[in-house]
């Protein structure tokens, strides 16, 4: 007899929506069928939509590291409550640079995660020759900064080429934060020399042009090296177009989108300052520009969505000048709800939500077919949502240590009712319901 049956819900995949029953055995999907059979536990999902657990491949939980901003228990509680059952994490303040760092971090994280997790490593200029060791040790991807940010040194064009050729050699994959070092450094010198401390400095320091230049170089080198490359947090249609052009020319390159580039506006920085300080900054200036981003996501020019969850508390965001406060936003509490809301408003289909926040990121980073879908044999990571419900995003519902969200006050359609991890109840009504721990997911290069 199956361990669990989820009966009568509308099961959503990229290809279809159909009223089906899901049966789970031993933590995995055993059948998706219109048949009804007895099971040890039965969940009535009538009137609800059933999604695969969401997969967020760009998350910073600061643990170990600056845990006053976030840690694994709080960050993954937020994930679990909002339907994210798999994350890939990396922390700039405590990077994984060598295999021993991965071993220590895995040891530290035992029993600290509510959801299943992979770990990404950072590329440092002096570790490029040793990346293959980390790949075989089981990191999910390598994070690269093209400009020095959050204390991580920028990888210049020569070292980017070395890194990409190394990755191409052993079949590794990477996520590149694209902003041009020379342009951002020059802008910073100029703005500081002018004595500027107003909120508008962020958009000038971290300009559209600096992002486009770094993305263009990254995409070009990706094609020439034959490396698999992902461009992080693409902020404009222009950057997406650069990436698409190199992909059409043969590069194995994908563009990552984040909700803040679909839902926040450039001018919010002026009013909200540090609470909108993240980089690249939000660029949209009109409904039409936001619609352009949604269209690129629907059409696959933007490959998948992640949060780039990088929280700070209000206290941390409110102390220090606009230059000094941390970059970053909380996102795990809001990303799945905002995507479901966007689907109810016609910005994308429910199938698109599964495609961009489950199937595609899982496929891109070697987590599929275990994660990212509800096919037979996949982990039974399941989200039940009531799309007829309505609500308002509120700071007091945020489980991240941030304790706030830039989306507070927005009306949203849809509510995540409950989440299952490997067939076990994980979260319900906006909070985790178990102390059972998520598992480490080795990257696709892990030595067998």
* # chain residues binding Zn ion, by CB under 5 A: 1
Nearer to Zn ion, 308 or 333 (CB): 308
Q: Find the part of the chain contacting Zn ion (CB under 5 A) among 3-11, 162-170, 288-296, 307-315.
A: 307-315
Residue closer to Zn ion (CB basis): 119 or 412 = 119
Identified binder of Zn ion from the candidate list 70, 101, 308, 397, rule CB under 5 A: 308
56 binds Zn ion (CB under 5 A): no
Options 156-164, 306-314, 413-421, 429-437: segment touching Zn ion (CB under 5 A): 306-314
Tokens standing for 389?
Answer: 């419900």
CB 308, min distance to Zn ion, A: 4
The terminus-to-terminus CA distance of the chain in angstroms comes to: 32
Q: How far is the CB of 284 from Zn ion (least distance, A)?
A: 19
Residue linked to tokens 């640079």: 97
Scanning 76-84, 96-104, 237-245, 308-316 for contacts with Zn ion by CB under 5 A, the matching segment is 308-316
- The helix or strand, by DSSP H or E, that contains position 190, with its residue range, turns out to be helix 181-193
Residue 278: CB minimum distance to Zn ion, A? 9
If the CB atoms of residues 122 and 360 are measured against Zn ion, the closer one turns out to be: 122
- Shortest reach from residue 426's CB to Zn ion, in Å: 25
Q: What is the CB-side half-sphere exposure of residue 35 using CA atoms within 13 A?
A: 8
Site string for Zn ion, 343-382 (x = CB under 5 A): ----------------------------------------
Q: Give residue number: closest CB to Zn ion.
A: 308
For residue 312, the minimal CB distance to Zn ion (Å) is 13
Whichever of 163 and 260 has its CB closer to Zn ion, that residue is 260
For 214-228, b/e burial (b = at least 16 CB within 10 A) is bbbbbbbbbbebebb
Name the minimum Å distance from CB 264 to Zn ion: 16
Q: Which stretch binds Zn ion (CB under 5 A): 10-18, 159-167, 247-255, 305-313?
A: 305-313
Cβ of residue 327: shortest distance to Zn ion, in angstroms? 9
Tokens 């536990």, residue located: 41
Rounded distance, CA 338 to CA 358, Å?
A: 15
Extract the tokens encoding 23: 């049966």
**Interacting positions 201-230 with Zn ion (CB under 5 A):** none
Of 263, 271, 261, 228, nearest to 246 (Cα)?
A: 228
Which segment (277-285, 300-308, 359-367, 379-387) binds Zn ion by CB under 5 A? 300-308
Give the integer Cα–Cα distance in Å for 283 and 266: 5
Query: Which stretch, 127-135, 256-264, 301-309, 395-403, contacts Zn ion (CB under 5 A)?
Result: 301-309
Considering only 216-224, 252-260, 304-312, 428-436, which stretch makes contact with Zn ion by CB under 5 A? 304-312
What percent of the chain is helix, strand and coil (3-state, nearest 5)? 35, 25, 40
Nearer to Zn ion by Cβ, of 232 and 348: the residue is 232
Smallest separation, CB 335 to Zn ion (Å): 13
CA angle 280, 284, 287 (to 5 degrees): 160
Q: How far is the CB of 54 from Zn ion (least distance, A)?
A: 17
Beta strands 28-33 and 228-231, pairing class: unpaired
User: Which of 128, 70, 59, 66 lies closest to 97 in space, CA to CA?
Assistant: 128
Q: Which is nearer to Zn ion, 115 or 178 (CB)?
A: 178
Report the alpha-carbon distance of residue 280 to residue 232 in Å, rounded.
10
- Encoded tokens for 99: 């295999």
Whether the CB-CB separation of 361 and 304 falls below 8 Å is answered with yes
Structure token pair of residue 326: 């941390």
Which sign, positive or negative, has the C-alpha torsion 338, 245, 443, 380?
positive
Output the smallest distance, CB 310 to Zn ion, in A: 6
The pairs formed by 34-38 with CB atoms below 8 angstroms and a separation of 24 or more are 36/7, 37/1, 37/2, 37/5, 38/1, 38/5
Residues at the site binding Zn ion, with contacts judged by CB under 5 A: 308
């Amino acid at each position: 007899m199956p361990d669990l049956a989820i009966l009568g819900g509308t099961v959503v995949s990229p290809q279809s929506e159909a009223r089906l029953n899901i049966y789970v055995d031993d933590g995995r999907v055993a059948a998706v069928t219109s048949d009804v059979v007895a099971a040890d536990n039965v969940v009535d999902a009538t009137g609800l939509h059933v999604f695969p657990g969401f997969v967020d491949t760009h998350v910073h939980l600061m643990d170990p590291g600056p845990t006053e901003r976030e840690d694994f228990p709080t960050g993954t509680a937020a994930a679990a409550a909002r339907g994210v059952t798999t994350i890939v994490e990396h922390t700039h303040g405590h990077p994984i640079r060598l295999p021993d760092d991965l071993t220590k971090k895995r040891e530290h994280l035992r029993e600290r995660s509510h959801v299943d997790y992979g770990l990404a490593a950072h590329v440092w200029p002096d570790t490029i020759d040793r990346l293959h060791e980390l790949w075989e040790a089981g990191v999910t991807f390598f994070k690269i900064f093209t400009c020095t940010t959050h204390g991580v040194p920028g990888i210049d064009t020569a070292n980017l080429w070395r890194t990409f050729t190394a990755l191409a050699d052993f079949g590794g994959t990477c996520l590149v934060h694209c902003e041009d070092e020379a342009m951002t450094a020059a802008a910073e010198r100029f703005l500081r020399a002018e004595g500027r401390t107003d909120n508008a400095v962020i958009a000038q320091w971290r300009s559209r042009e600096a992002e486009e230049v770094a993305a263009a170089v990254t995409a070009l080198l990706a094609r020439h090296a034959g490396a698999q490359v992902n461009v992080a947090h693409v902020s404009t249609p222009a950057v997406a177009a650069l990436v698409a052009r190199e992909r059409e020319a043969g590069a194995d390159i994908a563009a990552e989108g984040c909700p803040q580039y679909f839902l926040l506006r450039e001018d919010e920085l002026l009013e909200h300052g540090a609470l909108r300080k993240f980089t690249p900054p939000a660029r949209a200036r009109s409904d039409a520009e936001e619609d352009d981003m949604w269209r690129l996501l629907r059409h696959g020019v933007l490959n998948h969505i992640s949060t780039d969850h990088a929280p700070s508390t209000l206290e941390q965001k409110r102390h220090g000048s606009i230059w000094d406060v941390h970059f970053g936003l909380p996102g795990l509490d809001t990303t799945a709800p905002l995507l479901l809301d966007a689907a109810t408003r016609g910005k994308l289909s429910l199938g698109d939500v599964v495609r961009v926040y489950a199937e595609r990121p899982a496929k891109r980073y070697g987590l599929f077919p275990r994660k990212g879908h509800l096919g037979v044999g996949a982990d039974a990571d399941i989200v039940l949502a009531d799309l007829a419900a309505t609500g308002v995003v509120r700071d007091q519902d945020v489980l991240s240590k941030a304790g706030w969200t830039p989306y507070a006050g927005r009306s949203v359609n849809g509510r995540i009712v409950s989440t299952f991890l490997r067939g076990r109840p994980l979260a319900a009504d906006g909070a985790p319901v178990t102390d059972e721990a998520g598992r480490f997911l080795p990257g696709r290069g892990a030595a067998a």
